[in-house]
Structure 1
Amino acid sequence: MRYLFACLISAIIFISCKKDSTTPDTSAPQTMYFPPNNGSTWETTSMTALNWNQNAIQPLKDYLQLKNTKSFMILVNGRIVLEEYFNGHNATATSAWNSAGKTLVTAAVGIAQQEGLVNINNKVSDYLGTGWTSEPLAKENLITLKHLLTMTSGINDESNLVIKPNLTYLADAGTRWSYHNVFQKLMDVVGEAGNQAYETYFNNKLRNKIGMDGSWNEGLIFTIYHSNTRSMARFGLLALNKGKWGNEQVLNETFFTASVTSSQNINPSYGYLWWLNGKTNFMVPGGQTVYPGALVPNAPMDMYAAMGAGDQRIYVVPSKKMVVVRMGDASDPANPSFALSGFDNELWQKINAVIQ
């Protein structure tokens, strides 16, 4: 009996030791988490549980502060791993998304399409009436909602001020990629199709569904979204989950997938107002130069991003179940071209030192 008991104990010890040496660390939750829509509760995951290099955290923070950052967050599986505020900014303070907010408009258009209010392959004039541009009617009628989503309207890009006298013909829709604020006509389309103010539709169908705060404020050039940092992270989490929030598919997955896929061959690094990494070449706002290689070489190749002036960023990385948010002022005010300033690449070098 003693022999059998000793053998049993030995077997248990052997099994336990084997499990300890081969079973992956499960201290970091692997399930996707969505923070509740009300209240300040948001689960966290420690860097220790993720086996991240904590010695690289301070250099990352130092870099962020040096580069005029207001706030920075990293989520993994929806849980906060890092949340930092700089230069007097705090968790309740709001800041402008700038052009990163274009992706919010994409989502609103997608929701309007799934509700049968719009079809992105239809002419813009079907919703706004003819004469919404100063183009010849035949040329105006070439412009669809999809052309506005993909920056291929062909409208003259000499001015980003979206008033009718500036909306003149430069090229046939679909033949030229050019970054232009005419995208905001999509907001008018959604409002007209929904028979309500665009912001009312946006709040009911998107903002309130995922617990964001914030509002649309008319700026000098176009209407800009302002929110706190966690609201930006919430939208990034929705994007990570292809339009799903908890058990609800807020935005159709097929539409979202198309949004983060090359939308045309002229600039393969652009989807529906989303920037895409890992493509063969890219173009940037303000020019027609085609640059070889990935948009952000140091970032994961499957990353897609919402990018705005002043280096407002939402990076979404499906392969790492990760969302990264940066709000602040321009990292280099003397070099505002976001893709050529080097900021994104340098930032990802610092992030990689932490997560790898």
Structure 2
Amino acid sequence: MKPILLAALSLTLFVNCSSSESSSTETPTETMYFPSIGSTTWETKSIESLQWNPSAQQPLLDYLELKHTKSFLLLVNGRIVMENYFNGHTSTSNWYWASAGKTLTATTTGIAQQEGFLNIDNKVSDYLNTGWTSAPLAKENLITCKNLLSMNSGLNDALGDDVSPANLQYTADAGTRWAYHNVYVKLQDVIAAATGQSFSAYFNTKLRDKIGMNGLWIPNGDLSVYWSDTRSMARFGLLMLNKGKWQNSQILNENYFTEATNTSQAINQSYGYLWWLNGKSSYHLPQSQFQFNGSIIPAGPNDMFMALGKNDQKIYVIPSKKMVVIRMGDAADASNLALSDFDDVLWQKINALYQ
């Protein structure tokens, strides 16, 4: 990804949290909480009430600060258990999602499909016309919207961020090669063409505003990068924890949610529709065709699915624990595209809270 363009954002922000804690222990049957749209109130729950280990909290916070974190937020059943800001960042500060924002595009694609505007099994050229790549026509017409969601378009991933037709070159037939590629952004053009609206306008109406997020897309070369506050990222994570449903409103249908958060193709077991998946038998990494055996994050829960962005922007969703974890900040160590050693060590620290 090209360097992120810093922007001064003037946004409606969701800040402050209420002190309405329950003294009861969190249980799987406890009602999931959703913060109100437009409200600055968010229910909390203490580590002690969960019968977690309070002595593990400070080592986790020390590690987060050491690793250039700007914000960390942990929800259980929708309630804030930890919310911490570092290095001058605050609850009203906005930060970029980087490739964690791919999951916003995947979700908006699913919404457009359920509204009848598109079908992910259709070829991309049905919406963008032919010539959107420089591949031979017969090869271009093999590429479906699902291929873009699954990162197996077969287009050359070694040519940089430029997604103009000249730079989208044929390497293999769609579906036969997995490669992490910014061509996924063409789904935003598909949504715009199919709905007759700009992608950002459709996204704002159908997703952002319905769950009370703030934020906007900032142009960055051929891509747009989403910026928001930390609680907005947490709202999206909470929506996905509840299988696309916000309170009584099904924003994203559950069938698509299930497809998106399970293995989407046969090559990279650890990739769904722009979501990373933990606990699988093998995985591939960006800029590599090598298959690694085992789980991506060995210390992380096996059922965890993840939105992962450059320089360690993270949304971890863990259904078995009713948990959402958010991390925003600068790169923990060296610059990286999605995954780093930071993930596994971070999960060792989080595990110490409740094990």
1:210-225 mapped onto 2 (5 Å cutoff): 210-220=211-221, 222-225=223-226
Give yes or no for contact 2:311–2:337 (8 Å, CA) kept in 1.
Answer: no
Question: How far 1:220 sits from its partner (Å)?
Answer: 3.5
How many Å separate the matches in 2 of 1:27 and 1:351?
18
Secondary structure in 2 matching 1:302: coil
How many Å separate the matches in 2 of 1:127 and 1:338?
29
Instruction: For 1:76, give the aligned amino acid.
Output: V
Q: Which runs of 5+ in 2 are unaligned?
A: 1-22
Question: How far 1:337 sits from its partner (Å)?
Answer: 5.6
How many Å separate the matches in 1 of 2:196 and 2:186?
15
Secondary structure in 2 matching 1:72: strand
How many Å separate the matches in 2 of 1:312 and 1:355?
23
Question: How far 1:336 sits from its partner (Å)?
Answer: 2.4
Instruction: For 2:123, give the aligned amino acid.
Output: K
Secondary structure in 1 matching 2:202: helix
Question: How far 1:355 sits from its partner (Å)?
Answer: 1.9
Match of 1:252 in 2: 253
How many Å separate the matches in 2 of 1:240 and 1:221?
31
Instruction: For 2:183, give the aligned amino acid.
Output: V
Give yes or no for contact 1:28–1:46 (8 Å, CA) kept in 2.
Answer: no
How many Å separate the matches in 2 of 1:61 and 1:162?
39
Match of 1:31 in 2: 31
What TM-score do the two structures reach when normalised by structure 1? 0.91
Match of 1:155 in 2: 155
Secondary structure in 2 matching 1:209: coil
Write the deviation string for residues 214-251 of structure 1: whole angstroms up to 9, x where unpaired. 00111135211000000000000001001000000000
Instruction: For 1:311, give the aligned amino acid.
Output: D
Secondary structure in 1 matching 2:300: coil
Larger Rg: 1
Question: How far 1:28 sits from its partner (Å)?
Answer: 3.9
Match of 1:114 in 2: 114
Question: How far 1:332 sits from its partner (Å)?
Answer: 0.5
Give yes or no for contact 1:279–1:293 (8 Å, CA) kept in 2.
Answer: yes
Write the deviation string for residues 7-61 of structure 1: whole angstroms up to 9, x where unpaired. xxxxxxxxxxxxxxxxxx8344721000001121000011111011110100000
Question: How far 1:66 sits from its partner (Å)?
Answer: 0.5
Q: CA RMSD in A?
A: 1.1
Give yes or no for contact 1:95–1:228 (8 Å, CA) kept in 2.
Answer: yes
Residues 1:347 and 2:343 are matched in the alignment: no
1:1-356 mapped onto 2 (5 Å cutoff): 26-28=24-26, 30-159=30-159, 160-220=161-221, 222-333=223-334, 336=336, 338-339=338-339, 341-356=340-355
How many Å separate the matches in 2 of 1:56 and 1:254?
38
How many Å separate the matches in 2 of 1:182 and 1:202?
19
Identity of aligned residues (%): 59
Write the deviation string for residues 280-331 of structure 1: whole angstroms up to 9, x where unpaired. 0000101101111001000000000000001000000000000000000100
Instruction: For 1:355, give the aligned amino acid.
Output: Y
Structure with the higher helix share, 1 or 2: 1
What TM-score do the two structures reach when normalised by structure 2? 0.91
How many Å separate the matches in 1 of 2:79 and 2:116?
34
Moved beyond 6 Å, runs of 4+: none
Give yes or no for contact 1:310–1:331 (8 Å, CA) kept in 2.
Answer: yes
How many Å separate the matches in 2 of 1:191 and 1:252?
20
Cα distance change of structure 1 residues 152 and 354 upon mapping to structure 2, 3 Å threshold: same
Instruction: For 2:126, give the aligned amino acid.
Output: D
Q: Which runs of 5+ in 1 are unaligned?
A: 1-24
How many Å separate the matches in 2 of 1:221 and 1:205?
23
Write the deviation string for residues 85-110 of structure 1: whole angstroms up to 9, x where unpaired. 00000011100000000000011000
Write the deviation string for residues 168-188 of structure 1: whole angstroms up to 9, x where unpaired. 110000000000000000000
Instruction: For 2:276, give the aligned amino acid.
Output: W
Secondary structure in 1 matching 2:210: helix
